[in-house]
């Protein structure tokens, strides 16, 4: 369980920035979280970012650099920036670590680097990666519970394959990111890329996927990115203005599909 600052302070979430650095900065300005120079102006507010900072867009590594600076600026002002791992960070790390060598049991030309490229990887992101960027990504958790909200990147129950609590899931993620076994990386990237588990969930079923996630990991509402409102929920790009609540208001989808013509949905949860 994460307990940060005063429970009454504002809580914001965003996800799936995908290298769209200027759009991310503009969303922060619109929310009043940064000033015109990009420095934190949100006071004691909390901002949680739910993964996929890289790939598909023009400057993923630049987005990482901005997040790192923003976290420092927020902390100095009494605020907080929390950051979760997305499947695209895992895939970028795999491409960096293993390159193009074949992976046993995976028929992917070019190995991890080939798969990463096929799913939107940008050569410039890989070229710009420094050891500091790699270290930062490998330390990211995958799950957090904040003010009763279960925060994850992907709309999948496969987090529960990694553990039965926030702490054990995040420990398993840390171990996976520290592994030198390409097969373990293949399996981990597959878990992180899964999607669509919550759309048919009904609260009358105590073992439905949403109930399982909330009961096991905590929280009363699950918040995720990963599946765009534009492609996966059928919202026209021009109509992407707010996050989507579904599964009887127990789930909030916040990936506005910025790379599909939508927008970054910086959403205030409280």
Q: Which of 123, 141, 40, 163 is nearest to 85 (CA)?
A: 141
Per-residue pLDDT, 107: 86
| pLDDT, tens digit, 9 for 90 and up, residues 91-112 | 999 999 999 999 888 888 999 9
- Alpha-carbon span 40 to 75, nearest angstrom: 9
Per-residue pLDDT, 5: 41
Question: Cβ distance 59 to 102 under 8 Å?
Answer: no
| pLDDT, tens digit, 9 for 90 and up, residues 209-261 | 999 999 999 999 999 999 999 999 999 999 999 999 999 999 999 999 999 99
pTM of the model: 0.95
Phi, psi of 46 (to 5 degrees): -120, 135
Per-residue pLDDT, 4: 40
- Alpha-carbon span 92 to 28, nearest angstrom: 25
């Amino acid at each position: 369980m994460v307990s940060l600052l005063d429970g009454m302070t504002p809580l914001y979430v965003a996800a799936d920035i995908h290298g769209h650095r200027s759009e991310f900065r503009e969303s922060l300005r619109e929310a009043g979280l940064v000033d015109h120079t990009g420095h934190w102006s949100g006071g004691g507010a909390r901002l949680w970012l739910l993964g996929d900072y890289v790939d598909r867009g023009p400057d993923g590594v630049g987005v990482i650099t901005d997040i790192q600076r923003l976290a420092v600026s927020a902390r100095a002002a009494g605020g907080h920036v929390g950051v979760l791992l997305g499947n695209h960070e895992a895939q970028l790390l795999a491409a960096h670590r293993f390159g193009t060598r074949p992976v046993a049991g995976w028929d992917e030309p070019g190995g991890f680097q080939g798969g990463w490229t096929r799913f939107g990887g940008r050569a410039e992101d890989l070229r710009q990666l420094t050891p500091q960027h790699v270290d930062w990504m490998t330390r990211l958790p995958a799950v957090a519970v904040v003010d009763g909200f279960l925060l994850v990147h992907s709309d999948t129950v496969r987090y529960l394959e990694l553990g039965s609590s926030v702490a054990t899931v995040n420990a398993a993620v840390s171990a996976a990111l520290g592994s030198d076994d390409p097969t373990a990386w293949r399996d981990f990237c597959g878990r992180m890329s899964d999607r669509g588990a919550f759309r048919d969930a009904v609260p009358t079923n105590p073992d439905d996927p949403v109930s399982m996630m909330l009961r096991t990991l905590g929280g009363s509402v699950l918040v995720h990115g990963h599946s765009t409102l534009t492609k996966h929920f059928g919202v026209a790009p021009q109509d992407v203005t707010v996050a989507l609540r579904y599964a009887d208001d127990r789930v909030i989808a916040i990936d506005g599909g910025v790379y599909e013509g939508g927008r970054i949905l910086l959403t205030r949860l409280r």
